[in-house]
Amino acid sequence: MTQKAPESEKTKERKSILRAEKALEKAAELGDAAGVKKALGDLSELRVFFVDLRDDRGRTPLMAAAMSGSEESVRALLNACGVNARDVNEATALMMAAERGFRRRPFACGGVSGKIGRIPCGKCIQSDPLAIGHRSKS
């Protein structure tokens, strides 16, 4: 009868990270902002500051939060997930948010003229990077 070797600290840490990542995925999917924030805090304590999780459709927690319609969850995930990530259908979190009825809100500055039309100033981008805060009434 062989005895199991005790788990190393590295193995324990990896299991803790996996638990926190699983909690983050579930909370984002449910639009549970408090759960998202807790899981991000747990990951931060484990020195994980960028989350590159993908489900079987290639969706990140940010995409799941956008699909759930939870603005607070989306905002919590903005600095932890890649905003330009694409799923298997080439959709981004912003595209998914738009599908769910979110629309860009007007920029506080009114925008400045650019080659592609009115664009926000740097201050507006910092305060509202995705600008998806208002849902359309349709």
Domain spans of the chain, in order of start: 10-101, 103-133
CATH architecture of the domain 10-101 equals Alpha Horseshoe (1.25)
Give residue 57's pLDDT. 92
Q: What is the pLDDT of residue 51?
A: 82
For the whole model, what pTM was predicted?
A: 0.67
Q: Is 116 exposed, middle or buried (0-12, 13-18, 19+ CB in 10 A)?
A: exposed
Q: Across residues 56-85, what is the average pLDDT? A: 88
Q: Report how far apart, in Å, the C-alpha atoms of 63 and of each of 46, 92, 95, 103, 129 are.
A: 23, 7, 9, 16, 15
Residue 14 CB neighbours (<10 A): 13
Which residue type does 40 have? L
Return the pLDDT at 8: 85
